[in-house]
Amino acid sequence: MNNKTYLNSSSVSKTMINKNIFMFLLVFTMLITFSSALEGYGTKQVNEQFTFCQVCQDATYITLSSIETPNSTIGIYANMSSMGGGEYCYNYTPTQIGRYDFRGISDGCEKSFATYVDVTANGSESNIQTSIIQVLIILFFVGLGLGFYYIKNNLDFEKWNNKIYNTYESKNYIKLVFASIGYNIMKHSSVVYFLIGLPILTTLTDLTRIYNLTDLVSIFSTLVIIYTVGIVLVAIYFFGQVQEWLVDLLNKVRDMDWGIEQ
């Protein structure tokens, strides 16, 4: 009797387990089917109008019933404009960043449709590969700045300056030009740091757009504009310093030619 009871309970347990497994697989299959059936309409840019279209050759009308925005659902109930060839379109401008679900009905094809649009700050998809590239760019320029700082601190500028004078005396003007440019770039390091900062700031701006950080996008965009204008001022300052250095070089060479020692 006990053996029969054990066998019956064991059979019931196996049946329940098999049933649970079957239900799990059924629900999982339904979820996969649902997610694959609802196809995306692509990525659009916030505050920029785009044309949403559906194609159904045997339909006489397609009505856009609703648009679900990131924080509400808007009832549209408007017939989409016929473009010919069974194509019906509707112009729409998203004002928020996030997902928009478009739903509608028609008298043809599958009678109804549902799709979604991802809206981002720059109209591009956010993906980990792009983020990694952006981070690597930032790290590269940060490393470039650190490397420049290390090299500068180990340079003997007085010895380098004297070598440039000797180059001038030997009439090797090509070496003189390159040596002069290199010397002034290393001497006025603030200019270099400023230029290195521009791609870092630009890349950070792109990252804020990729991840739809709307509050930071406007701030970083403004900083990039200010920074770009500042390049003109920095260039004027740099060439002014180069001019002063060249005048000083020519004066020293002239004094050397006249036999005046300083």
The CATH classification of domain 38-120, taken from the options 2.60.40.10, 2.40.50.100, 3.40.50.300, 3.40.50.170: 2.60.40.10
Q: How confident is the model at residue 45 (pLDDT cuts 50, 70, 90)?
A: confident
Place of tokens 């397609």: 62
Euclidean distance between CA atoms 164 and 167, whole angstroms: 5
Determine phi and psi for 248, rounding to 5 degrees.
-65, -40
Residue 30, both tokens: 């339904």
* Mean predicted lDDT score pLDDT of the chain: 75
Mean predicted confidence (pLDDT) in 225-249: 77
Confidence of residue 183 (pLDDT cuts 50, 70, 90): confident
Angle, CA 186 vertex, CA 188 and CA 241 arms, to 5°: 35
pLDDT per residue as tens digits for the range 119-160 = 877 776 666 777 788 889 889 989 988 888 888 888 787 787
> Which residues touch 168 (CB under 8 Å, ≥6 apart)?
176, 249, 253
Cβ contact 210:130 at 8 Å: yes
CA distance 75 to 96: 17
Tell me the average pLDDT across 51-72: 91
Higher pLDDT, 172 or 109: 109
Cα–Cα distance between 207 and 47 in angstroms, integer? 19
Contact 210, 131 (CB under 8 A): yes
Q: Which range, 52-61, 127-136, 172-181, has the best average confidence (pLDDT)?
A: 52-61
Could you tell me the pTM of the whole model?
0.49
Distances from the Cα of 91 to the Cα of 38, 168, 213, angstroms:
21, 68, 26
Coil, helix or strand at residue 115: strand
- Between 189-210 and 214-257, two packed helices, what is the crossing angle to 10 degrees? 160
Instruction: Answer whether 235's CB lies under 8 Å from 185's CB.
Output: no
Who has greater pLDDT, 2 or 122?
122
Give residue 106's identity as a one-letter amino acid code. S
Name which residue leads in pLDDT, 143 or 255.
Answer: 143
For residue 64, give the nearest of 47, 46, 51, 45 by alpha carbon: 51
**Residue 224 confidence (pLDDT):** 84
Question: What pLDDT, in 10s, does the model give residues 192-215?
Answer: 888 888 888 888 887 877 776 767
User: 64 near 90, Cβ under 8 Å?
Assistant: yes
Tell how strand 73-79 and strand 81-84 pair up.
Answer: unpaired
